[in-house]
Structure 1
Amino acid sequence: MRKPSTHATMSVASSTSFPSSSRPLTIRLLAIVLLALAPLIVFVPSAANACACGCSVFDVGGGLLPQEDDHGGRVFTEWWHASQNRNWIGSSRGPADANNDKRVVTDWVTAGLQYMFNREWGISIRVPYVSRAFTTDTGAPPDGAGIQTFNSRSIGDIEIMGMYTGFSSDMSTGIIFGLKLPTGTFTAQGLDRDTQIGSGSTDLILGAFHRGMISGDNAWQYFTQVRWLQPFLYQSAYNADANAVLLYKPGYQIDGAAGVVYNNLYNVAGFDKIAPLLQIIVSHRQRDSGPAADPLNSGFDRIMISPGIEFTKVVDEVNKRVLKFYVDVEIPIFYRANAAINDNGSMGQLIAPYLIKTVASYNF
């Protein structure tokens, strides 16, 4: 009963620059994402919620990064959804009966706060609540009970991050750094360590972003972002199959994105601005390790294409009160999953045919 799998992440990428009449209130919400490249310092799966599914991919592309003239605070909420129901072996779909695990359905609802102290320094905190349903074949009676679904719901792994945006006057380039804390449960009954809501690890978060103009009139912009998660403190938990307390070490994960935004649709359908975008997201997840892990069936490389759109409504132009709503769909176009028959006779990783991400935010 083991399921190394994959999912996908979040952040809005368009900037908000209003026509000359609204220019004083320019609150461009930055950056979607960049193509993964470069090692930084190692990361694990997930921002605010860890899992071997690779959910940290939601943390790049379309996002909540600082913009030029973006001072003060922003509160936001995120909803991510993934239904992992396809068994993947290598670079192609494998037979469902090769994998004891059948389905993982997860919803993340995150509340967050970002605050920019000035044009150079800021901080953010994200607190997720996670609901997961894990369906697996426990084996025939009397030792097992056949195919069963186990549910787990709890606060996920909280993230606390700082950011520096002082490389340029328009805050177009920045770095992020912080920690993912082991606040999510990793002892839920019926779930393996790689399907628990929390990883049980403390992770270092490192990342960088950049945005720029493609056309001189600012109608077309590009963005890039990379994020690296590295677990460095691990925790053991009781394993019922082995009747022992075993250590689990999730593998690091690097996610990156790159995309373009059309930034010139003003006063449409009651919104002050609508910004469609198209991005490519790339992920590398290292194999898990430790006695509680399934290194043969964990770790992957993935490329996804993701169309998205952001809606902006100015509530109070003088005081820069702005509402934003962002949504995208992330669709794998390439997947390579490590897979081999393990001690339980299971092989493959469950992947999702698509991922959904939404973000709603309010600047104050």
Structure 2
Amino acid sequence: MHRFMRAVGAPAVLTLLAPANALACACGCGIFDTGVTSITPQDSASGLSAFVRFSPLDQDRNHEGGHTASADDNADKRIQTEFYTVGLNYVIAHKWQILAELPVIHRNFTTTGADAQGNPVIEKVPMTGLGDALISVTYAGFAADQSTGIGLGIKLPTGRYTGPVDRYGDLPYDRDTVPGTGSTDLQVSAYHVGKISPALRWFAHAQFRFAVATRDAYRPGDEVDGAAGLTYDLQAGKTTLSPVMQVIGAVRAHDSGDNSDPLNSGYQRMLLAPGLRVQITPRLSVYGDVEFPVAQYVNAARSPAIEGTAGQLVAPVMFKMQVNYGI
């Protein structure tokens, strides 16, 4: 298999198939798992590889529609999150690939609460817990180089879907800000990798995620994610450097249910994500990128005076880093 195919072919696409809910948060930060954000090259004879991914996110800007809005409109003020994801990927006969991953989420949620006398107060409430696990299967046997594949996955409700109590006895976390959604989701996906020259390749991927079983009166919105981009291999001695440029897009519907906030959920978003993959040894590689929103529209209530709060918190930039090792 070509070196690039190990980098952004079927194994890479497998790990980017995670549904948006796997990393639930108010802004839909599951976009972390779309595009060439997770690369698991199959360099070992067993076909097994492991990866660890770190993704920090700081949502400190209130957004309404297609523009930044006043922080006073939104009762939530800031969401600082660190995502730690571990996973395994296994290739069977160069055709079938199985992925399993589990995130651990540490979050500081700054929001508007009330003290014992009912007066509004701004408080920061920390929480650490498991996120929702993902298991997916991809068939990549359409071509010998695994350049085309289709996948089916399931997101399991392993994550915590209730928040901690603050010092006043209240529950500041909403259902879209806890680590898990409480739902079981299915996803369908497809990808293709094309060759422009021996070193230059293009790739495209799309997936659709939807909940099939929910609990506690909350259903996350259905989501369509997609990515397209280019990568180029540069040889530096025994190390291969592969710059990546990709465009990532997502469309998510409103959440629903009595415990949801349908007016302030759902979005359309496009990001530009330059990145770099470094193949250090035949088994060890590191990938990182930076994602900049270039266009985004988030659903928001028409008036905070009527609905109580309006808007969604977004981040001006996102970062990812992943280490992969072929076992």
Mark yes or no: TM-score above 0.5.
yes
Whether the aligned pair in 2 keeps the contact of 1:298 and 1:349 (CA below 8 Å) is yes
Alignment partner, residue 169 of structure 2:
none
Matched, 1:30 2:9: yes
C-alpha offsets along residues 278-323 of structure 1, whole Å, 9 cap, x if unaligned? 1100010110011111111110000100100000022xxxxxx410
Alignment partner, residue 236 of structure 2:
267
Calculate the aligned-residue CA RMSD, in Å: 2.2
What is the distance in 1 between the residues matched to 2:45 and 2:186? 26
Whether the aligned pair in 1 keeps the contact of 2:41 and 2:324 (CA below 8 Å) is no
1:299 alignment partner, one of 266, 279, 303:
266
What is the distance in 2 between the residues matched to 1:299 and 1:81? 21
Matched, 1:339 2:300: yes
Alignment length (residue pairs): 311
What is the distance in 2 between the residues matched to 1:133 and 1:84? 11
What is the distance in 2 between the residues matched to 1:357 and 1:90? 26
TM-score normalized by structure 1?
0.80
Give the partner amino acid of 1:231.
Answer: A
Alignment of 1:122-141 (within 5 A): 122-139=97-114
What is the distance in 1 between the residues matched to 2:190 and 2:92? 19
SS of 1:146's equivalent in the other structure is strand
Alignment partner, residue 312 of structure 1:
279
SS of 1:97's equivalent in the other structure is helix
Q: How many angstroms does 1:136 deviate by?
A: 0.5
Q: How many angstroms does 1:44 deviate by?
A: 5.7
Alignment of 1:271-290 (within 5 A): 272-290=239-257
Higher helix share: 2
C-alpha offsets along residues 151-205 of structure 1, whole Å, 9 cap, x if unaligned? 1101110111111001111100111211111111111122011111111111102
TM-score normalized by structure 2?
0.89
Whether the aligned pair in 2 keeps the contact of 1:159 and 1:179 (CA below 8 Å) is yes
1:114 alignment partner, one of 89, 100, 124:
89
Matched, 1:59 2:33: yes
Q: How many angstroms does 1:28 deviate by?
A: 4.0
Alignment partner, residue 321 of structure 2:
358
What is the distance in 2 between the residues matched to 1:334 and 1:124? 31
Alignment partner, residue 204 of structure 1:
186
SS of 2:309's equivalent in the other structure is coil
SS of 1:75's equivalent in the other structure is strand
Matched, 1:227 2:196: no
Alignment partner, residue 100 of structure 1:
75
SS of 1:275's equivalent in the other structure is strand
What is the distance in 1 between the residues matched to 2:286 and 2:91? 20
C-alpha offsets along residues 247-299 of structure 1, whole Å, 9 cap, x if unaligned? 11110111110001112x1125xx51000011100010110011111111110
